[in-house]
């Protein structure tokens, strides 16, 4: 008996098939979820993958957050279901206010694609238990709207509560406040980050690294032992 992880496809989602593959490589069952369908098909967790949903028109994630599937996801996330938002998925999560803050255009105004070093700051979330505290990992980053911002009180709160999950190392690629690459909600079940763990699960492709696999093995352990 394995766990079922839903992967949402919005119009303009790009990394849905890659995310399904990463979920399968970790030993989980990947369940495609369609943006118009409220039914979550009894999944145990959900990943919102990267891309340019609705072309990022208006503002990244701003339209997707109103889709029918998100109504169910917001409800379930509040009830404790693990949710991971990657890149555009992270942007959607901030638009829903499941996570605080917002993403601005990168401070250098260009799209950036690079192999990014991160430090794992919190290994107690649903998606990070397979890492060790302070572990340095390397996974691809690719976005144009990746600059994490929030008001000072929110950022202080995130820091104080240990809710900064990932921090950029060596290079801050987009001007994010305090090098923040990913955060979690207070309960630790909802995590969002800009870099792409699903692109670092197979040594034959991408950068050849497999540091992204930990996200998916973490959730597998959590769901199967639960």
Partner 1 sequence: MTLDTVKHAGETPDVELPWAELGLKEDEYARVRDILGRRPTGAELAMYSVMWSEHCSYKSSKVHLRQFGEKAPATDALLVGIGENAGVVDIGEGYAVTFKVESHNHPSYVEPYQGAATGVGGIVRDIIAMGARPVAVVDPLRMGAPDHPDTKRVLPGVVAGIGGYGNCLGLPNIGGELVFDACYQGNPLVNAGAIGVMRHEDIHLAKASGTGNKIVLYGARTGGDGIGGASILASETFDDSKPSKRPAVQVGDPFQEKLLIECTLEAYAEKLVVGIQDLGAAGLSCATSELASNGSGGMRVSLDDVPLRDSTLSPEEILMSESQERMCAVVEPDKVDRFLAICEKWDVLATVIGEVTDGDRLEIFWHGEKIVDVDPRTVAHEGPVYERPYARPDWQDALQADDAGKLPRPGSADELREQVVKLVGSANQASKSWVTDQYDRFVQGNTVLAQPEDSGMIRVSEETGLGVAIATDGNGRYTKLDPYTGAQLALAESYRNVAAAGARPLAISDCLNFGSPEDPAVMWQFVEAIRGLADGCQQLGTPVTGGNVSLYNQTGEAAIHPTPVVAVLGVIDDVARRTPIGFGTEGQLLYLLGDTREEFGGSAWSQVVHDHLGGLPPKVDLERERLLAEILISGSRDGMIDAAHDLSDGGLVQALVESCLRGGKGARIVLPEGLATSGDATDDAFVALFSESAGRAVVAVPRSEELRFTDMCGARGLPATRIGVVDGDALEVQGQFSIPLTELREVREATIPALVA
- Contact flag: residue 101 with partner 1 (CB under 8 A): no
Helix (H/G/I), strand (E/B), else coil: 182:
strand
DSSP 108: T
CB 91 within 8 A of CB 48: no
- Contact flag: residue 204 with partner 1 (CB under 8 A): yes
Active site residue 196: yes
Using CB under 8 A, pick the residue from 85, 182, 192, 206 that binds partner 1. Answer: 206
- Contact flag: residue 140 with partner 1 (CB under 8 A): yes
Q: Which stretch binds partner 1 (CB under 8 A): 72-80, 106-114, 121-129, 179-187?
A: 106-114
Residues 6+ apart with CB under 8 A from 66: none
- Contact flag: residue 10 with partner 1 (CB under 8 A): no
Q: Which stretch binds partner 1 (CB under 8 A): 92-100, 126-134, 156-164, 202-210?
A: 202-210
Q: Which residue has the tokens 């995130």?
A: 158
- Contact flag: residue 199 with partner 1 (CB under 8 A): yes
What's the token pair of residue 119?
């430090």
| Catalytic residue selected from 35, 95, 121, 198 | 198
CB 30 within 8 A of CB 12: no
What's the token pair of residue 108?
């250098």
Q: Which stretch binds partner 1 (CB under 8 A): 9-17, 40-48, 119-127, 158-166?
A: 9-17
Q: Which stretch binds partner 1 (CB under 8 A): 70-78, 112-120, 146-154, 176-184?
A: 112-120
Using CB under 8 A, pick the residue from 4, 17, 167, 178 that binds partner 1. Answer: 17
Judged by beta carbon, residue 121 or residue 145, the one nearer partner 1 is 145
Active site residue 198: yes
From the number of C-beta atoms within 10 Å of its C-beta (0-12, 13-18, 19+), residue 175 rates as: middle
Using CB under 8 A, pick the residue from 31, 103, 126, 144 that binds partner 1. Answer: 144
Active site residue 87: yes
Nearest residue to 113 (alpha-carbon basis) of 144, 138, 84: 144
Cα–Cα distances in Å, from 27 out to 56, 57, 58, 92, 196? 32, 35, 37, 26, 19
Tally the C-alpha atoms within 13 A of residue 113's C-alpha that lie toward its C-beta.
3
Instruction: Please give the positions annotated as active site.
Output: 87, 196, 198
Q: Where does this chain bind partner 1 (CB under 8 A)? A: 11-12, 14-15, 17-18, 21-22, 51-52, 54-57, 110-114, 140, 142, 144, 196, 198-199, 202, 204-207
């Amino acid at each position: 008996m394995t766990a079922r992880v839903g992967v949402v496809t919005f119009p303009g989602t790009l990394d849905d098939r890659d995310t399904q593959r990463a979920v399968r490589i970790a030993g989980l069952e990947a369940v495609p979820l369609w943006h118009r369908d409220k039914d979550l098909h009894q999944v145990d967790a959900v990943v919102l993958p990267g891309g340019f949903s609705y072309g990022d028109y208006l503002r990244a994630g701003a339209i997707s957050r109103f889709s029918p599937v998100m109504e169910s996801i917001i409800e379930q996330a509040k009830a404790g279901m693990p949710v991971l938002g990657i890149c555009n998925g992270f942007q959607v999560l901030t638009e829903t206010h499941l996570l605080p803050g917002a993403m601005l255009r990168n401070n250098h105004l260009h799209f950036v694609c690079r192999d990014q070093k991160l430090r794992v700051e919190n290994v107690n979330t649903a998606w990070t238990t397979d890492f060790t505290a302070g572990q340095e990992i390397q996974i691809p980053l690719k976005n144009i709207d990746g600059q994490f911002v929030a008001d000072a009180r929110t950022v202080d709160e995130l820091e104080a509560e240990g809710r900064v999950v990932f921090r950029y190392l060596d290079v801050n690629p987009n001007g994010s406040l305090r090098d923040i690459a990913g955060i979690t909600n207070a309960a630790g079940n909802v995590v969002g980050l800009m870099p792409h763990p699903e692109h670092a699960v197979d040594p034959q492709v991408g950068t050849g690294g497999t540091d992204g696999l930990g996200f998916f093995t973490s959730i597998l352990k959590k769901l199967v032992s639960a």
